Structure 1
Amino acid sequence: MTHGTAERAPDPGARGPSRRTMMQGTLGAGALVAAGSLSSCAGSIAGAATSGTLVRIWDLLGGSDGQIMGEIVDEVRVELPDISIDRTTLAWGAPYYTKLAMASTGGRAPEAAVMHLSRLIGYAPGGLLEPFDMDMLEQVGIRESDIPAALFERCLFQDEMYALPLDTHPFITFYNPAIAEPAGLLNPDGTLIEITSPDEFLDAGRAMADVTGAQGIAYGYLSDPAQAWRLFWGLYGQSGAEYDFTPGQDVGFDDGTAVELLEFMQSMLDGTVAAPNSDYGSAIANFTTEQAGLILSGVWEKTSLQGAFPDLGGSPVPVMFGTPAAFGDSHSYVLPRQLTPNPARREATYEVLGAILKQGLTWAGAGHIPSLIPVVESPEYQDLVPQSNYAQAAESIFLDPPVWFAGSGSDFQNRMCQAMQTALQGLGSARDSVDTMIREMNTFLATPAPA
C-alpha cells in the first residue's frame, strides 16, 4: 500500500467551488451539452406552474431521464395544487455545479436542486447547502430506514443529512438472452448465472464470442472521461482494499491490488472477450447489433437498450474479487443556502420532494434504482425486468472517494481514465499506469480546495 490506512472522514475544511470560477454552460431554453457517456443527464429549461407557494427546483436530467422526471413533476403538481413547481433543467457537467455554487453564494439559489451524491463533499463544508430536517422529512413520510444504509451514510456531513437521494445509478451488466442462453450463462429463470472470479468472467466472454462470431462483451472506454474509472473503481471496492484520500497528504492506495485489477482489464480486451479499442458509442452499437452478448455500462442505458431487445437482461457486475461492491452514484436533492429563508417555501419544498420520491416506480422506468426501500420491495417493482434483477446493487453502492475534487463529471475521473488508457490500449504496463494514477491522486490531494 502506498500510504495510510483505511478510508477516513474527509477534511472538514474542504470547501466547494469558487464563485470566481468561470461558468461554461449555456443556460437558455433548449440548451444541451454533450456529456460523454452520461448523455442522458444533459438538459434544457423546462416550464413551471404559475400559482401557489413557489418551489424552484434545478436539475440536470435530460433525454429519457428528463422526460420521465417531467411526467413525475406533472403528477406532483396535480397532487399538490397549492404549490407552484418551477422546474429548470440545466446542462450536465461542471457548468451546472458552477452555476449552483454561484447561485448559493449570490442569494439566487432555488429551493432545491439535484446533485450527484459523489459531489456533496465539495459543497456541504463550504456553507453552500443547508441540512435536511429529519423531523420534517418524517412528516412527509420519508424515514432514514427507508434508504439503503450504504447510500444514507454518504448523505451525511458532520452527522447531519445534506442530501436526499432520489436513486442509485450503478455501473452494471446488461445481456442479450438470445446470446447468453446458448452460451450456457443463464439460469432456468433467465437470470445470469453466478460468476465468482476473473477467470470465470473471461470464460463467459469467450463462450458468448463463440455464439456471436465476434466478441462476447462490449465495453467502451477509449477517450471516455469515466468508463475506465467506473469499472476499475468498482473492482477496487470488490477487492476490499483500503484507501485514504486525506487532503494535504499522500494517497493511501493499494498499488499492488490496483495493478492486479488493471491487468485483469487488459486481459479482457483481447479481441475475443472484448474489443481492444472500443469507445462508448461503438460498445453500444456492438451490443445492439448482436456482435456481443453482454455490455458493461450504466443503468441509464436501460431505456435505449431495451428498445433494441425487449427481453433485455440485467445484473450487477459479477463479484469477481471477493466483496460485493457496485460502482455508482446517486441523483440526490440538496437544499442550496438561502440568504433569506422563506418558511412557507421550505415547508412546501419538503412536500414536493417527498412526493417526487414516492413516484419511484415511475422513475424506475429510466433504469435507475429508486432510493426508497419500500418502493424497491413493492410487488410492482419486483415485476419490472430487468430492473428488479440488478436492484441489489444499491445495497453495496461504491461511490468515488469523499473528497472535493472527485465525483461524477469531475476532472479527477477524467485524469484517472487517461492514466489507465495507455495500459488498456496495450501501449504500456499496468504498473506504469498505476504509478501515473498515484501521481495524479497526490497532485489533487496537494491542491487546496477552491475558496
Structure 2
Amino acid sequence: MSLTPHRPPPPAGSAPPPSRRGVLLGASALALGSALGATGCSPGPDDARVRFWSLFQGGDGARVETMLEAVREQAPHLRVTSSTLAWGPPYYTKLAVASVGGRAPETAILHMSRLPGYAPGGLLQPFDLDLLAEFGVTAEDFVPDLWDRCVHDGATYAIPMDTHPVVLFYDTEIAERAGALDGDGHLIGMDSPEGFVEAARALAEAGGGDGVSFGHVNDDSQGWRLFWMLYNQTGASLELPEGGPAGLDHEAALRVFEFLAEAFDGRTSEPGQDYPTALAAFASGRSGMLISGEWELPYLMEHVENLGAAPFPTVFEQPGSYADSHAFVLPRQSDTDPERTRATHEFVALMVRNSLTWGEAGHIPAYSPVAESPEYQGLSPQSDYAVAGETPVLDPEVWFAGAGSQFHTDVSQTLRTALTGSGPEAALEELGRTLDSWASRTDPGGA
C-alpha cells in the first residue's frame, strides 16, 4: 500500500531532488548529524571508489568484513572503503543528513521496512537494472514478495541481501521426550492455536521448565513482530490511509491476542519475559522453545547442545513469518559520475553473490542462486527454516513504520497489555487507538 502520490519514475541512476520529506528529515537532523560526526569526503580521482555504510557490528560485522575481502579479491580495481555506524535512529538520521547535504556514500544498508520513508522523499537514487544484470544480478533472482517491496513508482530503489525472519528454536532432546518430533526430528502438531498450546505444555512437562519463551517486555519491536506475523496468518488486512482511521480487522486481532494469552498463561510459559531473560532461559535448558529472530543463531549454536530450528508454524490459515530485509540502497548524490555508478553496481552485485557467508550467520540469503546452492542447503539448522524466506511478512508500506521506529515501540506495548496487563480485549482497544493515531499523522513527503 502506498501513501504517497504517484510520481513518474526518474531516469535510472539519476538523482531526483529531495521532496519536502527529504528536506524536513535533513533539516531536523542537522544538529544531531553534526554531533554524530556526519562528515563527507571530497571526490577523489579514482572513479572506482565505492564508500559503503552499514550498521553491522559484532559477529555480523565480522561476516561483512569477510564478504568485503572476497569482493576486493574478485574485483581489485574497486576502491572500497566501509564505515560502521550505530544501529537505529542515529544511523538513519545520519543517512538522511548525508543524502540531503551531498555527503552521502555511494551505497549503504537500509532495512527494507524503512524504504517507504526514504525512496519517496528523494533521499535515494534508483538502481540501473540493466547495469546490475551485467554483473549477474536480476529481479528474477529474488522472491517476488521481497522484490516487489524494492520498487517505488516503477523504479527499483533497493537490492535485498537477506531476509531475517522470526523463527522457532527448540531443544530437540526436550521435544523428543514430549513426543513433538516426527521421524526426521522436525516439530509436529503445531498447525493450529490448540496444537501450539498443547505442544508448549507438553514441552514444559518434559523439560521441567517453560514450554516456550518469548522476550518482549521493554523491547521496542518484539511485540509488534509477533502480533503482525500472526495477524497476517489469519488472512486479515490492515489499512492505514493517511488521515485515518485505521482499517483493523478487530475479530482477527482479538483471535491473535486471545491465542497468545492462552499460550503464555503463566503456568507453563511465562507471559512477561524481557528479551535477555527469554534468551537465557532457552540457552540454559529452562525452556523447550524460543520465539526469536534467526539472528540469534550464532549465540544459540554456541550455547544449546541440542538445537533445532523451524519456520514459525502456520498457527492460523496461511503461512507467513515476520521478516525484514537488509538491503543495499544508493543514497542521493549531488554529482553522479557514470563510472562510479558502474563501480557501485558491481560492488552491490558482488556482495549479494557472496552472501553465503551471510547465510552462515543465520540470515537467509535473498539471492536465489546462493539460497538454493548445495553449500547453503547443507547448512544446519539454517536449511530447516529457509522456507520462511518464501513467505515474508513485511511491515506495512507506510512512512512511519520500520525497524527502529517509534511506531514499533507504540504498537508493541499492546502485546504487553494483552499478556501482562488488562487482557486481550483491552489490548485490542489500545491497538485500535494507537493505529488510528499513527494513521492520522501527516506524511511529510505527501505535500
Does structure 1 residue 383 correspond to structure 2 residue 390? no
Structure 2 alignment gaps of length 5 or more? 7-19, 39-44
Partner of 1:403: 398
Instruction: Tell me the amino acid that sits aligned with residue 351 of structure 1.
Output: E
Partner of 2:441: 447
8 Å Cα contact 2:181/2:187 also seen in 1: yes
Partner of 2:5: 12
Q: TM-score, normalised by structure 2?
A: 0.91
Q: Following the alignment from structure 1 to structure 2, what is the Cα–Cα distance between the partners of residues 51 and 346?
A: 12
Partner of 2:302: 307
8 Å Cα contact 2:47/2:339 also seen in 1: no
Partner of 2:198: 203
1:236-247 aligned within 5 A: 236-247=231-242
Partner of 1:60: 55
Partner of 1:268: 263
Residues 158-203 of structure 1 deviation map (CA, whole Å, 9 limit, x = unaligned): 1211110000000111111111111111222222225210110011
Does structure 1 residue 340 correspond to structure 2 residue 335? yes
- Structure 1 counterpart SS, 2:166: strand
Instruction: Tell me the amino acid that sits aligned with residue 203 of structure 2.
Output: M
Residues 333-357 of structure 1 deviation map (CA, whole Å, 9 limit, x = unaligned): 0011111001111111111111111
Q: Following the alignment from structure 1 to structure 2, what is the Cα–Cα distance between the partners of residues 311 and 292?
A: 12
1:64-83 aligned within 5 A: 64-83=59-78
Q: 1:435 aligned to 415, 429, 439, which one?
A: 429
1:119-268 aligned within 5 A: 119-268=114-263
8 Å Cα contact 1:27/1:91 also seen in 2: no
Instruction: Tell me the amino acid that sits aligned with residue 434 of structure 2.
Output: E
8 Å Cα contact 1:215/1:271 also seen in 2: no
Q: Following the alignment from structure 1 to structure 2, what is the Cα–Cα distance between the partners of residues 24 and 241?
A: 40
- Structure 1 counterpart SS, 2:309: strand
- Structure 1 counterpart SS, 2:5: coil
8 Å Cα contact 1:94/1:410 also seen in 2: yes
Residues 221-271 of structure 1 deviation map (CA, whole Å, 9 limit, x = unaligned): 111111111111000110100211121231111011111101111112123
Q: TM-score, normalised by structure 1?
A: 0.90
Q: How many residues align?
A: 423
Instruction: Tell me the amino acid that sits aligned with residue 119 of structure 2.
Output: A
Does structure 1 residue 285 correspond to structure 2 residue 280? yes
Partner of 2:28: 21
| RMSD value, Cα | 1.8
CA 1:313–1:305 in structure 2 vs 1: closer, same or farther (change >3 Å)? same
Q: Following the alignment from structure 2 to structure 1, what is the Cα–Cα distance between the partners of residues 37 and 61?
A: 16
Structure 1 alignment gaps of length 5 or more? 1-7, 30-49
Partner of 1:3: none
Residues 31-57 of structure 1 deviation map (CA, whole Å, 9 limit, x = unaligned): xxxxxxxxxxxxxxxxxxx97721001
8 Å Cα contact 2:52/2:105 also seen in 1: yes
Residues 358-412 of structure 1 deviation map (CA, whole Å, 9 limit, x = unaligned): 1121110111000011211111111111111111111110111100000111100
8 Å Cα contact 2:261/2:423 also seen in 1: no
Instruction: Tell me the amino acid that sits aligned with residue 444 of structure 1.
Output: W
